[in-house]
Amino acid sequence: MNKVLAIILARGGSKGIPNKNILDFCGHPLVAWSIMQSKITPNIDEVYVSSDSYKILEIAKKYGAKTIKRPDSISGDTSKSEEAILHALQHLNEKYEIIIMLEPTAPLRKPLDLSQSIEYFRKHNLDSCFSGAALSDFLIWKKNKEGKLISVNYDYKNQGPRQERQPDYVENGAIYMFKQEIFLRENNRFGGNIGIFPNKFWQSFEIDEKDDWDFVELVFNKYLLNDYKTFKQEEYEI
């Protein structure tokens, strides 16, 4: 019952960047980084890739992950990640203590992030958790129903010193973690006692559009690539 499962969700279709999960990112297919990050984490017991794409599933096998063929009916642009997780759990038909959901488009995880996030989850008795960073200096506005701009996280009419503002947090998409029973009860990655695993602000960037790719690759090369070389394993040439 104390087993930890990592599920990597990787669709074949993508409008922003066609076939992005199999494109080369810092020397490996993008989806492979989430697999390798999981495989070097000793407290993750099983690593699965769920995909509708046979090409992605073949890459997953090459990098040591097990695979789940996801039906096309839950692999569209409007499909929810929760649908893929539920399908995977029904396919596996096992009990797990913790399920980790990883998105290949958020590869800026440090080598110890997954291990430390599991420890954090257990230490704080969490039911669900996400990785994120504090946004201390961001003043956020949005448009209301009438199309007028309104300040969201501060009162522009009554601005106090920056040091007195409470931080907001960005959900960076790199790590989602939850207990199996909470997910099945809520049909949601969030539920019960929700926590945030702290990341650096530079880990807050994801690859969704073409303009994101070069920037995220630049960040990965600067902050992470050398660290991963120390985790080199026989199967991989990182």
pLDDT of residue 91: 97
Say if 138 falls within a structural domain: no
pLDDT of residue 202: 96
Say if 107 falls within a structural domain: yes
Between 15 and 94, the more confident residue is: 94
Q: Kindly state the percentage of the chain with pLDDT values over 70.
A: 95
Per DSSP, 5 falls in state E
Residue 68 parent element (H or E)? strand 66-69
Helix 30-39 with 113-123: angle, nearest 10 deg: 50
Has residue 212 got a pLDDT over 60? yes
Say if 154 falls within a structural domain: no
Q: How many domains does the chain have?
A: 1
Say if 190 falls within a structural domain: yes
Would you say 221 and 213 are in contact if contact means Cβ atoms under 8 Å apart?
no
Say if 61 falls within a structural domain: yes
Residue count of the chain = 238
Chain-wide mean pLDDT for the chain? 93
Q: Which residues pair with 217 in a beta bridge?
A: none
Q: What is the DSSP string of 26-37?
A: TTEEHHHHHHHH
Has residue 150 got a pLDDT over 50? yes
Torsion of CA 58, 61, 63, 69, to 10 degrees: 70
Closest CA to 175 of 128, 139, 137: 128
Say if 81 falls within a structural domain: yes
Closest CA to 198 of 113, 99, 137, 124: 113
Which of 106-110, 140-144, 192-196 has the lowest average pLDDT? 140-144
Q: What CATH number does the domain containing 109 carry?
A: 3.90.550.10
Would you say 4 and 100 are in contact if contact means Cβ atoms under 8 Å apart?
yes
Closest CA to 104 of 221, 169, 41, 20: 20
Q: Kindly state the percentage of the chain with pLDDT values over 90.
A: 80
Confidence of residue 15 (pLDDT cuts 50, 70, 90): confident
Residue 183 parent element (H or E)? helix 180-186
| Alpha carbons 49 and 176: distance in angstroms, whole number | 15
Confidence of residue 223 (pLDDT cuts 50, 70, 90): very high
Identity (one letter) of the amino acid at 169? Y
State the Rg of the chain over Cα: 19
Tell me the residue range of the domain where 27 lies. 4-132+170-229
Instruction: Kindly state the average pLDDT of the residues 139-167.
Output: 83
Confidence of residue 159 (pLDDT cuts 50, 70, 90): confident
Instruction: Kindly state the average pLDDT of the residues 166-193.
Output: 96
Confidence of residue 230 (pLDDT cuts 50, 70, 90): confident
Instruction: Kindly state the average pLDDT of the residues 111-127.
Output: 97
Which pair of tokens denotes residue 205? Answer: 């960037």
pLDDT of residue 234: 44
Separation of CA 184 from chain center:
19
pLDDT of residue 232: 59
Say if 221 falls within a structural domain: yes
Say if 184 falls within a structural domain: yes
